[in-house]
Amino acid sequence: MQVQNKGFLSIEQLQDQYLKQNKSGTSQVATEGQSFQEILENSRARAQGQVRFSKHAAGRLADRNIELTTGQMERLQEGAQKAQMKGIRESLVIVDQLAFIVNIPNNTVVTAMNQQDAAENVFTNIDGAVII
């Protein structure tokens, strides 16, 4: 029965509308353009209390040819933990000659730079700094 003449949708049209909507929802990429694998890895890192890198920060590390040693990663983690204990939300963590801006509540490195890229020595939008 179609009552389309009076501005209502038929049952078939409603079914198509809702069924197509559900199908498209399951095939979409997860929030903020992250794949399922990235979300899974981030949740594992968060559960273990490890610092993880945002897509932007990972790109900066690659662009600037910065490779972190295991010791530097451990010290970065230690710096993030110290910032969390002090109640810092956005922290500058300096490890050797590398500077990291870390979002402490999410335990995520937002950006990274080496000494040459931080030539101005000006860091904004932070509320604390940890030098390790």
pLDDT tens track, the chain, 132 positions: 444 455 677 777 777 777 766 444 444 444 556 677 777 776 766 666 689 899 999 999 999 888 899 999 999 999 999 999 999 999 999 999 899 999 999 899 999 998 877 767 788 889 999 998
pTM for the full predicted model: 0.64
What is the rounded CA–CA span in Å between residue 79 and residue 85?
10
Q: Which two tokens stand for residue 71?
A: 């010791």
The answer to whether 106 touches 42, Cβ cutoff 8 Å, is no
What is the rounded CA–CA span in Å between residue 3 and residue 105?
54
> Angle at CA 55, nearest 5°, toward 49 and 56?
115
Amino acid 86: pLDDT = 94
What is the rounded CA–CA span in Å between residue 87 and residue 80?
11
Amino acid 85: pLDDT = 93
What is the rounded CA–CA span in Å between residue 111 and residue 106?
14
